[in-house]
Amino acid sequence: MKKNGSVLFRISGLIICVLTCIAIFAMCAPTDLTESENTEFNYLALGDSYTIGESVASNKTWPNLLVDALSEKEMTINSTTIIAKTGWRTDQMLAAAEDEIADKKFEKVSLLIGVNNEFQGQDPSDFEPEFIECLTYAIAHCKNGAAGVFVVSIPDYGFTPYGESNQAAISARIDQYNEICERNADNYQVPFYNITPISRNGLDQADLVASDGLHPSGKQYGLWVDQFQDQVFEQFNP
């Protein structure tokens, strides 16, 4: 009996030791979403009218809808900076960004640019180096480099009342521009979120187009965010 009791005592001590080690490890090990490293960030959205949300309320623009969606996933957005204006080409956006944010860096940066280059008739071959300049700027101003940047495709305004009469030509040009955006995003290992198919429902679903007959509505922007919010979250929290 004494021998068995001694064995049981040693086994009990071993179990207590193991459980204590597990508890200490659990307290010291980092979690997937530590507040200091993964759940707080400053966000920079670079773009044009599609990013500023022409003709929709500010809380219905896709960058703000994305921030709301990420907040629901318990990510803390300290600040959102939007450098975008209706009518901006790539060069105008870059000039404004360089003036407004200087050397400041952000944890997350998005880029949606090019429709005004297309609208003003720029050749796609001339657009490409300008888009690359915008993309490398976004990467340079992200604390996480390319890992914290994503590109959103250019929506197709041919599927709006404004562009309907010239839809085929507009769509063909938008496809060329988006091919450039996607290919270069891939080259720089930056995610590319293709929302263009959603925009091509604009003539069949009138509520996807804003009251100006040209830009996406808040509802359409919400569909964009629904499509890529999980991927953005996973990108920031691998």
CA 114 → CA 68, 81, 84, 103, 122, distances in Å?
26, 20, 12, 24, 10
d(CA 10, CA 4): 10
Cα 17 off chain centre by: 47
- Cα torsion angle, 185, 191, 197, 200, sign: negative
Question: What CATH number has the domain spanning 33-236?
Answer: 3.40.50.1110
Residue 14 above 90 pLDDT?
no
Contacts of 200 (CB under 8 A, 6+ apart): 156, 159, 171
Q: Given this model, what pLDDT does residue 215 score?
A: 98
Q: Where are the domains of the chain?
A: 1-30, 33-236
Are 82 and 63 contacting, i.e. CB atoms less than 8 angstroms apart? yes
Reported as a single tens digit per residue, the pLDDT across 71-110 is 999 888 899 999 999 999 999 999 999 999 999 999 999 9
Q: Which two tokens stand for residue 152?
A: 């959103």
For the chain, strand residue ranges (E) read 40-47, 76-84, 108-111, 149-152, 192-193
Q: What is the DSSP letter of 106?
A: B
Helix crossing, 124-140 with 167-187: angle to 10°?
40
Reported as a single tens digit per residue, the pLDDT across 180-215 is 999 999 999 999 999 999 999 999 999 999 999 999
d(CA 80, CA 232): 15
d(CA 100, CA 171): 33
Q: Is the pTM of this model over 0.85?
A: no
